[in-house]
Amino acid sequence: MTESIEDIEIRLLLDAVYHHYHYDFRNYAQASIKRRLLQARAQCGFDSISELQSAVLHDDTMLPRLLNFLTVQVSEMFRDPAYFRALREKVVPHLRTYPSLKVWIAGCSHGEELYSLAILFEEEGLADRTIFYATDINPSALRSAQAGIFPLDRIQLFTENHRLSGGHSSLSKYYTADYDRAVFDTSLRDRAVFSDHSLVTDSAFGEMHLVSCRNVLIYFNRDLQDRAVGLFGESLVRGGFLGVGSKESLRFSSHADLFAEFVREERIYRRIAQ
Protein backbone atom coordinates (compact mmCIF):
# COMPACT_ATOMS: atom_id res chain seq x y z
CA MET A 1 0.00 0.00 0.00
CA THR A 2 1.31 3.50 -0.76
CA GLU A 3 1.98 5.67 2.23
CA SER A 4 -1.00 7.90 3.05
CA ILE A 5 -0.56 11.68 3.22
CA GLU A 6 -1.21 11.53 6.94
CA ASP A 7 1.54 8.92 7.42
CA ILE A 8 3.94 11.11 5.42
CA GLU A 9 3.01 14.09 7.60
CA ILE A 10 3.62 12.06 10.75
CA ARG A 11 7.02 10.96 9.54
CA LEU A 12 7.95 14.55 8.73
CA LEU A 13 6.73 15.84 12.08
CA LEU A 14 8.73 13.25 14.01
CA ASP A 15 11.79 14.16 11.93
CA ALA A 16 11.23 17.83 12.69
CA VAL A 17 10.88 17.20 16.44
CA TYR A 18 14.09 15.17 16.38
CA HIS A 19 16.13 17.68 14.40
CA HIS A 20 14.98 20.74 16.29
CA TYR A 21 14.47 19.45 19.84
CA HIS A 22 16.42 16.15 19.86
CA TYR A 23 13.46 14.17 21.12
CA ASP A 24 13.52 11.00 19.06
CA PHE A 25 10.15 9.33 18.54
CA ARG A 26 11.03 8.08 15.07
CA ASN A 27 11.30 4.47 16.18
CA TYR A 28 8.21 4.35 18.34
CA ALA A 29 5.54 1.80 17.44
CA GLN A 30 3.61 3.53 14.68
CA ALA A 31 -0.04 2.72 15.31
CA SER A 32 0.04 4.10 18.86
CA ILE A 33 2.00 7.22 18.03
CA LYS A 34 -0.38 7.95 15.17
CA ARG A 35 -3.36 7.76 17.54
CA ARG A 36 -1.64 10.12 19.94
CA LEU A 37 -0.66 12.60 17.24
CA LEU A 38 -4.18 12.65 15.80
CA GLN A 39 -5.44 13.31 19.30
CA ALA A 40 -2.92 16.15 19.71
CA ARG A 41 -3.92 17.61 16.36
CA ALA A 42 -7.62 17.55 17.24
CA GLN A 43 -7.27 18.84 20.78
CA CYS A 44 -4.88 21.64 19.81
CA GLY A 45 -7.32 22.66 17.09
CA PHE A 46 -5.27 22.06 13.94
CA ASP A 47 -6.69 20.81 10.65
CA SER A 48 -3.67 18.74 9.72
CA ILE A 49 -0.54 17.18 11.16
CA SER A 50 1.44 19.58 8.93
CA GLU A 51 -0.13 22.53 10.75
CA LEU A 52 0.76 20.92 14.06
CA GLN A 53 4.32 20.47 12.81
CA SER A 54 4.59 24.11 11.84
CA ALA A 55 3.35 25.21 15.27
CA VAL A 56 5.76 22.87 17.05
CA LEU A 57 8.70 24.27 15.09
CA HIS A 58 7.83 27.95 15.41
CA ASP A 59 6.25 28.14 18.85
CA ASP A 60 8.32 26.88 21.80
CA THR A 61 5.26 26.51 24.01
CA MET A 62 3.90 23.79 21.73
CA LEU A 63 6.63 21.25 22.49
CA PRO A 64 5.63 20.62 26.13
CA ARG A 65 2.03 20.18 25.02
CA LEU A 66 3.05 17.73 22.33
CA LEU A 67 5.27 15.80 24.76
CA ASN A 68 2.30 15.32 27.04
CA PHE A 69 0.42 13.66 24.22
CA LEU A 70 3.37 11.57 23.11
CA THR A 71 4.70 10.35 26.43
CA VAL A 72 2.50 10.74 29.45
CA GLN A 73 0.25 7.96 30.45
CA VAL A 74 -1.88 7.49 33.45
CA SER A 75 -0.89 4.46 35.45
CA GLU A 76 -1.91 3.08 38.83
CA MET A 77 -0.02 2.56 42.03
CA PHE A 78 0.72 -1.15 42.40
CA ARG A 79 -0.66 -1.78 38.90
CA ASP A 80 -0.69 -5.58 38.44
CA PRO A 81 -0.49 -6.36 42.16
CA ALA A 82 0.96 -9.81 41.41
CA TYR A 83 4.08 -8.14 39.99
CA PHE A 84 4.68 -6.26 43.22
CA ARG A 85 3.90 -9.36 45.25
CA ALA A 86 6.56 -11.25 43.29
CA LEU A 87 9.06 -8.44 43.91
CA ARG A 88 8.21 -8.55 47.61
CA GLU A 89 8.32 -12.31 48.02
CA LYS A 90 10.95 -13.39 45.53
CA VAL A 91 13.23 -10.44 44.71
CA VAL A 92 13.42 -8.64 48.08
CA PRO A 93 15.08 -11.62 49.84
CA HIS A 94 17.98 -11.27 47.38
CA LEU A 95 18.08 -7.48 47.69
CA ARG A 96 18.39 -7.80 51.47
CA THR A 97 21.86 -9.27 51.03
CA TYR A 98 23.25 -5.97 49.67
CA PRO A 99 24.38 -3.24 52.10
CA SER A 100 23.20 -0.53 49.71
CA LEU A 101 20.78 -0.61 46.81
CA LYS A 102 20.12 1.31 43.63
CA VAL A 103 16.73 1.05 41.92
CA TRP A 104 15.94 2.59 38.54
CA ILE A 105 12.36 3.33 37.51
CA ALA A 106 12.78 3.95 33.78
CA GLY A 107 9.93 5.93 32.23
CA CYS A 108 8.49 6.94 35.62
CA SER A 109 5.77 9.20 34.18
CA HIS A 110 3.75 10.69 37.08
CA GLY A 111 5.51 8.49 39.61
CA GLU A 112 2.91 5.82 40.39
CA GLU A 113 5.52 3.07 40.13
CA LEU A 114 8.13 5.04 42.09
CA TYR A 115 5.81 5.60 45.06
CA SER A 116 4.65 1.98 44.91
CA LEU A 117 8.25 0.76 45.13
CA ALA A 118 9.18 3.32 47.78
CA ILE A 119 6.31 2.09 49.95
CA LEU A 120 7.16 -1.54 49.31
CA PHE A 121 10.83 -0.93 50.24
CA GLU A 122 9.71 0.95 53.37
CA GLU A 123 7.50 -1.96 54.39
CA GLU A 124 10.30 -4.43 53.79
CA GLY A 125 12.81 -2.36 55.76
CA LEU A 126 15.02 -1.60 52.76
CA ALA A 127 14.20 2.08 52.25
CA ASP A 128 17.12 3.43 54.31
CA ARG A 129 19.71 1.73 52.18
CA THR A 130 18.13 2.46 48.81
CA ILE A 131 18.48 5.24 46.27
CA PHE A 132 15.72 5.41 43.67
CA TYR A 133 16.44 6.87 40.26
CA ALA A 134 13.23 7.98 38.59
CA THR A 135 13.73 8.96 34.97
CA ASP A 136 11.55 10.18 32.14
CA ILE A 137 11.99 12.26 29.00
CA ASN A 138 9.08 14.53 29.83
CA PRO A 139 10.06 17.39 32.22
CA SER A 140 6.48 18.07 33.28
CA ALA A 141 5.93 14.38 34.11
CA LEU A 142 9.11 14.46 36.22
CA ARG A 143 7.88 17.54 38.09
CA SER A 144 4.60 15.80 38.71
CA ALA A 145 6.36 12.65 39.94
CA GLN A 146 8.43 14.80 42.26
CA ALA A 147 5.29 16.40 43.68
CA GLY A 148 3.74 13.02 44.48
CA ILE A 149 0.16 14.19 44.30
CA PHE A 150 -2.59 11.97 42.91
CA PRO A 151 -6.34 12.49 42.50
CA LEU A 152 -8.12 11.32 45.62
CA ASP A 153 -10.66 9.38 43.57
CA ARG A 154 -7.85 7.03 42.46
CA ILE A 155 -6.93 6.10 46.02
CA GLN A 156 -9.55 3.41 46.43
CA LEU A 157 -8.05 1.51 43.50
CA PHE A 158 -4.49 2.12 44.72
CA THR A 159 -5.45 0.86 48.19
CA GLU A 160 -6.97 -2.31 46.82
CA ASN A 161 -3.94 -2.91 44.57
CA HIS A 162 -1.61 -2.31 47.52
CA ARG A 163 -3.49 -4.83 49.64
CA LEU A 164 -3.39 -7.43 46.83
CA SER A 165 0.34 -6.84 46.43
CA GLY A 166 0.86 -8.17 49.94
CA GLY A 167 1.24 -4.75 51.57
CA HIS A 168 1.37 -5.13 55.33
CA SER A 169 0.70 -1.55 56.29
CA SER A 170 -2.20 0.72 55.45
CA LEU A 171 -1.70 2.85 52.35
CA SER A 172 -3.36 5.75 54.22
CA LYS A 173 -0.22 5.92 56.37
CA TYR A 174 1.67 7.35 53.40
CA TYR A 175 -0.54 10.20 52.22
CA THR A 176 -2.58 13.13 53.45
CA ALA A 177 -5.92 13.87 51.88
CA ASP A 178 -6.21 17.49 50.82
CA TYR A 179 -9.61 18.25 49.26
CA ASP A 180 -9.65 16.12 46.13
CA ARG A 181 -5.96 15.28 46.22
CA ALA A 182 -3.84 12.70 47.99
CA VAL A 183 -0.45 14.21 48.84
CA PHE A 184 2.14 11.51 49.40
CA ASP A 185 4.62 11.77 52.25
CA THR A 186 7.79 13.62 51.20
CA SER A 187 9.87 11.08 53.16
CA LEU A 188 9.04 8.57 50.40
CA ARG A 189 11.09 10.58 47.94
CA ASP A 190 13.88 11.67 50.28
CA ARG A 191 16.05 9.07 48.66
CA ALA A 192 14.77 9.54 45.12
CA VAL A 193 16.71 11.26 42.34
CA PHE A 194 14.60 12.58 39.48
CA SER A 195 16.36 12.85 36.18
CA ASP A 196 15.81 13.50 32.51
CA HIS A 197 16.90 10.35 30.70
CA SER A 198 15.99 8.87 27.33
CA LEU A 199 16.13 5.15 26.63
CA VAL A 200 16.37 6.12 22.96
CA THR A 201 19.36 8.46 22.99
CA ASP A 202 21.06 8.32 26.42
CA SER A 203 23.48 5.76 27.80
CA ALA A 204 23.53 3.27 30.67
CA PHE A 205 22.81 4.31 34.24
CA GLY A 206 25.25 2.20 36.22
CA GLU A 207 25.32 -0.41 38.97
CA MET A 208 21.59 -0.89 39.49
CA HIS A 209 20.21 -3.75 41.56
CA LEU A 210 16.70 -3.45 40.22
CA VAL A 211 15.36 -1.83 37.07
CA SER A 212 11.60 -1.53 36.77
CA CYS A 213 10.38 -0.42 33.35
CA ARG A 214 6.76 -1.30 32.80
CA ASN A 215 4.63 -0.61 29.73
CA VAL A 216 7.32 1.47 28.10
CA LEU A 217 8.81 -1.11 25.74
CA ILE A 218 5.47 -1.79 24.03
CA TYR A 219 5.63 1.74 22.64
CA PHE A 220 8.98 1.05 20.96
CA ASN A 221 9.61 -0.76 17.70
CA ARG A 222 11.86 -3.79 17.82
CA ASP A 223 15.12 -1.89 17.18
CA LEU A 224 14.39 0.50 19.99
CA GLN A 225 13.28 -2.27 22.34
CA ASP A 226 16.55 -3.95 21.61
CA ARG A 227 18.51 -0.83 22.48
CA ALA A 228 16.62 -0.36 25.74
CA VAL A 229 17.09 -3.98 26.80
CA GLY A 230 20.82 -3.67 26.07
CA LEU A 231 20.89 -0.53 28.21
CA PHE A 232 19.24 -2.39 31.09
CA GLY A 233 21.76 -5.19 30.72
CA GLU A 234 24.63 -2.67 30.96
CA SER A 235 23.03 -0.85 33.87
CA LEU A 236 22.45 -3.85 36.12
CA VAL A 237 24.95 -5.45 38.46
CA ARG A 238 25.45 -9.14 37.85
CA GLY A 239 22.54 -10.87 39.58
CA GLY A 240 20.45 -7.68 39.40
CA PHE A 241 16.77 -7.77 38.47
CA LEU A 242 14.72 -6.36 35.60
CA GLY A 243 10.92 -6.10 35.70
CA VAL A 244 8.91 -5.24 32.57
CA GLY A 245 5.19 -4.98 31.84
CA SER A 246 2.94 -8.03 31.88
CA LYS A 247 2.64 -8.02 28.07
CA GLU A 248 6.29 -7.26 27.41
CA SER A 249 9.08 -9.75 26.96
CA LEU A 250 12.78 -9.91 26.15
CA ARG A 251 12.13 -12.74 23.72
CA PHE A 252 12.77 -10.72 20.56
CA SER A 253 15.83 -8.90 21.86
CA SER A 254 19.35 -9.71 20.73
CA HIS A 255 20.36 -9.01 24.35
CA ALA A 256 18.00 -11.65 25.73
CA ASP A 257 20.97 -13.87 26.61
CA LEU A 258 22.07 -11.32 29.23
CA PHE A 259 19.03 -12.33 31.25
CA ALA A 260 17.42 -15.39 32.76
CA GLU A 261 13.72 -15.62 33.53
CA PHE A 262 13.34 -15.22 37.27
CA VAL A 263 9.58 -15.00 37.80
CA ARG A 264 8.28 -15.90 34.40
CA GLU A 265 4.60 -15.04 34.76
CA GLU A 266 5.41 -11.60 36.20
CA ARG A 267 8.09 -10.85 33.59
CA ILE A 268 10.86 -10.46 36.12
CA TYR A 269 14.33 -11.27 34.76
CA ARG A 270 17.74 -11.63 36.33
CA ARG A 271 21.01 -10.36 34.86
CA ILE A 272 23.38 -13.25 34.42
CA ALA A 273 27.10 -13.47 33.83
CA GLN A 274 27.97 -13.75 30.18
Partner 1 sequence: MNLEAIVIGASAGGVHALLQVLPALPADFPVAILVVVHVPPRRDNALVALLAERCRLPVKEAEDKEPMVPATIYMGPPDYHLLVENDGTLALSSDETINHSRPAIDVLFESAADAFGARLAGIIMSGANHDGAIGLRAVYDAGGQAIVQAPATAEVACMPEAALAACPAARAINLEDMPSALKEMLDR
Binding site for partner 1 (CB under 8 A): 1, 4, 7, 29-32, 34-36, 73-75, 80, 82, 215, 218-219, 222, 225, 245-248, 252
CB of 228 to partner 1, least distance (A): 14
Q: Quote the CA–CA distance of 104 and 89 in Å, as a whole number.
A: 19
Which residues lie across from 259 on neighbouring strands? 271
For residues 273 and 260, give the distance between their C-alpha atoms in angstroms, rounded to a whole number. 10
* Residue 171 DSSP one-character state: G
Task: Using alpha carbons, select from 107, 156, 109, 99 the residue that is nearest to residue 130.
Answer: 99
Q: To the nearest whole angstrom, how small is the minimum distance from the Cβ of residue 183 to partner 1?
A: 23
Question: What gap in Å lies between CA 99 and CA 42, rounded to an integer?
Answer: 52
**Nearer to partner 1 (CB atom), residue 123 or residue 226:** 226
Min separation Cβ 17 and partner 1, Å = 19
Parallel/antiparallel/unpaired status of strands 259-263 and 101-106: unpaired
Q: Which is nearer to partner 1, 1 or 273 (CB)?
A: 1
- We find the least distance from the C-beta atom of residue 28 to partner 1, in angstroms, to be 11
Minimum Å gap between C-beta 7 and partner 1 is: 7
Q: Which is nearer to partner 1, 83 or 262 (CB)?
A: 83
The residue among 83 and 132 lying less far from partner 1, judged by its C-beta, is 83
| Minimum CB–partner distance for residue 69 and partner 1 (Å) | 10
Beta strands in the chain (DSSP E): 101-106, 130-136, 149-151, 175-178, 181-184, 192-196, 208-213, 236-244, 259-263, 268-271
Which is nearer to partner 1, 121 or 158 (by Cβ)? Answer: 158
Q: Which of 270, 250, 217, 30 is nearest to 107 (CA)?
A: 217
Report the C-alpha gap between 16 and 12 in whole angstroms. 6
